[in-house]
Amino acid sequence: MKKVLYFLLMFLMASVAHAIEVPDPVITVTEGEEYYVVDVEVEGDYGLRVFNGNWEIETPYVIQRLEEDVEYHIMAYAEIYSEGSWYYSNVVDYWLLVPALEQTPLPSPPPMLYFDVIEGDEYYTVFAYSDDDHFTVSLFCDGVPVDNPYSIERSPDGDMLYELTAWGQAEGYNDITDKITLVVPGIVKPITGDLNGDGEVTIADVNAVIDAILGQNSEKKYDFDGDGEVTISDVMALINFLM
Ligand SMILES: [Ca+2]
Ligand SMILES: [Ca+2]
């Protein structure tokens, strides 16, 4: 009721003063995607108030679209000051239905990102991809963008730790990131004489050669003297190496 009284007062004041005819304002509304913009064309000054039900909104020139349809009551009047008195136009009403902001639904389900790590003797090869062909995926290694596939060289200095990030986007999707931590084992140099692979050269390696001879295992690593056969001479050669 408050707004009605307010504009009734404006109307009464306009009725009393007949000396100057004040043209009515023209309200125009421009539609935007997120906002509606209210403009008042008028000669002289004017008053503008916008109500949402019984609530007056604080920004009468910019009406934000909300998650639901809202009807607004826009009211404007013109006013002219002349020879010590204010003169007023009629109050112009404008009813505006502002439709709800359309939420663009995201495709469902969103794409998934995947890593493929192919282990190699000298390189680890990494692919990053998505299950959606329209989703472009970029691969980052320790924060640095890399081409696909990415080959990580194994280091002779030992294991290396990499953080791999796949990041993808496509129109209509939220950006997606996924991360993995990849340990790329270093290249292991074989130790001469360490035939059982325990990292040391001991009598156990001699026993390994003897076992190989008894088991007729002619694996190349047991051919310590390199003559093409696994025989007692390899045992002797290894013992000499140990001494
Ligand atoms: Ca050994
Ligand atoms: Ca041999």
Q: Which of the ligands is closest to the CA of residue 206?
A: 1
How far apart are the CA of 156 and the centre of ligand 2, in A? 29
Query: Measured in angstroms, how far is the CA atom of residue 237 from the centroid of ligand 2?
Result: 9
- Please give the share of the chain, as a percent, with pLDDT higher than 90: 42
Domains delineated in the chain:
2-98 (2.60.40), 113-184 (2.60.40.10), 203-242 (no CATH)
The CA 227 to ligand 2 mean position distance, Å, reads 5
By the 10 Å C-beta count (0-12 exposed, 13-18 middle, 19+ buried), 123 is classed as middle
- For residue 195, the ligand closest to its alpha carbon is 1
pTM of the model: 0.40
Distance, CA 122 to ligand 2 centroid (Å)?
29
Distance 29 CA to ligand 1 centre (A): 88
The pLDDT tens digits for 64-93 are 998 899 999 999 999 998 888 889 999 999
Question: Closest ligand to 241 CA?
Answer: 1
> Residue 96 above 90 pLDDT?
yes
Phi, psi of 229 (to 5 degrees): -130, 155
Q: Is the pLDDT of residue 18 over 60?
A: no
Residues lining ligand 2 (ion), CB within 5 A? Answer: 223, 225, 227, 229, 234
Residues of the chain above pLDDT 70, percent: 91
CA 102 to chain CA centroid, Å, is 22
Amino acid, res. 188: V
Q: Rounded CA gap, 105 and 172, in Å?
A: 8
Q: Which ligand is nearest to the CA of 221?
A: 2
pLDDT exceeds 80 at position 59: yes
Q: How many CA atoms lie within 13 A of 177 on its CB side?
A: 6
